[in-house]
Amino acid sequence: MTQPITVKPGEKIKLKDFDPSYTGNYTNKKNAEKKLDEIRKQMIQFQSLLYAENKRSLLIILQAMDTGGKDGTIRHVMGGVDPQGCDVKSFKVPTPEELSHDFLWRAHKVTPCKGKIVIFNRSYYEDVLVVRIHDLVPKEVWKKRYDQINDFERILTENGTVIMKFYLHISKDEQKKRLEERLNDPSKRWKFSEGDLKERKYWDDYMDAYEDALTKCNTEYAPWHIIPANRKWYRNLIIGQTIVEKLKSLDMKYPETKIDIKNIIIE
């Protein structure tokens, strides 16, 4: 039985219906990584087209529970693109200046300009997730943010930004395994945080909050992609494949030269 990556807008998303260990037609890491190598090469070509055409930009949003694989996705899927045309923005606890503006302000100012790719490692969706779980703002405030996010994403897309949103779906058991690996591996121990354990206690609350965000902010112009992420190699493959398919669908063209090359002689 196949498992969808995207869900039709308007349908209620229940994460229990998505197997985080699903690997589709791929049964082993070796074949998936071979395919990913081909995808990375295509992505480099499409990035060049995006930059040269200079008509659109690409915003990639990565959301996940702790240890979900956001950093790994950036490293393994986007590692081959030209760093001059790709930025990564991480969203941590808002600064006093950011808190003095509307919640979308800090995101809007770092969205990609035409020709560029920007990856959000977490995003403004934290303002309907963490904020909700920990009662950082009243319910009547965060409830309005779903529509505000949809309006914001519509404005971006109408002005040339292609938005691709990925929720990296891992199981609670897989998170436990990855936290234990961090704790037991000296080379990974620096990434371990007691805060991760505190947040883990809210797992069910986060699942409810994610389901609402995935459902209410799943639009035709900025759909969510629910990525089975228990198997890192499959996660990387599907995200890379989805990005390349989207870029290909844009039918980008290199611009025509503005000079008459027939009269140019290079001596």
What are 193-230's pLDDT values in tens digits? 888 899 999 999 999 999 999 999 999 999 999 999 99
Supply the pLDDT for residue 1.
Answer: 63
**What element of type H or E holds 82?**
none
β-bridge partners, 90: 121
CA-closest candidate to residue 108, choices 144, 141, 76, 153: 153
The class (CATH top level) of 15-252 is: alpha beta
Q: Where are the domains of the chain?
A: 15-252
Dihedral of the CA atoms 246, 249, 254, 256 (nearest 10)? -150
What are 12-52's pLDDT values in tens digits? 999 999 999 999 999 889 999 999 999 999 999 999 999 99
Model pTM?
0.95
CA-closest candidate to residue 218, choices 3, 2, 13: 13
User: How many angstroms separate the CA atoms of 160 and 57, rounded?
Assistant: 6
